[in-house]
Copies of this chain bind each other. A is one copy, B any other.
């Protein structure tokens, strides 16, 4: 129906449904928003970070606690905590030598839960 051949800019094929494409394009969010969204999910896309977040959802912990819990080196944990902090997913407070980390966003659990809904679906 809506067939129409267009010199494709970059895609190496003809457009089939240009009306649909235009309608979708009009409704798409800003490029930047989608980029930020991908960046956020990228942070969730690592099992070490997921485990850290899940642990911190249970209790505030220091770096060493987390390393021990996950059986990983302090350095590896520290690097990942930095990523989580930059993403504003965790915060920390210092008490002497010890640095305690905790969740900085109560939505983390909700994002997890939505993910679990998908996983547990057949």
A8 CB, nearest partner CB in chain B, Å: 6
Residue from A73, A110, A118 having most chain B Cβ neighbours under 10 A: A118
Asked if B9 and A71 make an inter-chain contact with CB atoms under 8 angstroms apart, the answer reads yes
Partner of A15, one of B42, B64, B72: B64
Residue from A20, A68, A69, A88 having most chain B Cβ neighbours under 10 A: A68
Q: Known A38-B44, A107-B114; judge A24-B61 contact (CB<8 A).
A: yes
Question: How many chain copies?
Answer: 2
Task: List chain B residues, Cβ under 8 A from A108.
Answer: 118
Q: Known A28-B54, A114-B107, A119-B40; judge A68-B34 contact (CB<8 A).
A: no
- What sequence of 0s and 1s flags, for each residue 1-45 of chain A, a beta carbon within 8 Å of any chain B beta carbon? 000001011111111111011011101110001111111111111
Task: List chain B residues, Cβ under 8 A from A18.
Answer: 68
Asked if B118 and A107 make an inter-chain contact with CB atoms under 8 angstroms apart, the answer reads yes
Asked if A11 and B58 make an inter-chain contact with CB atoms under 8 angstroms apart, the answer reads no
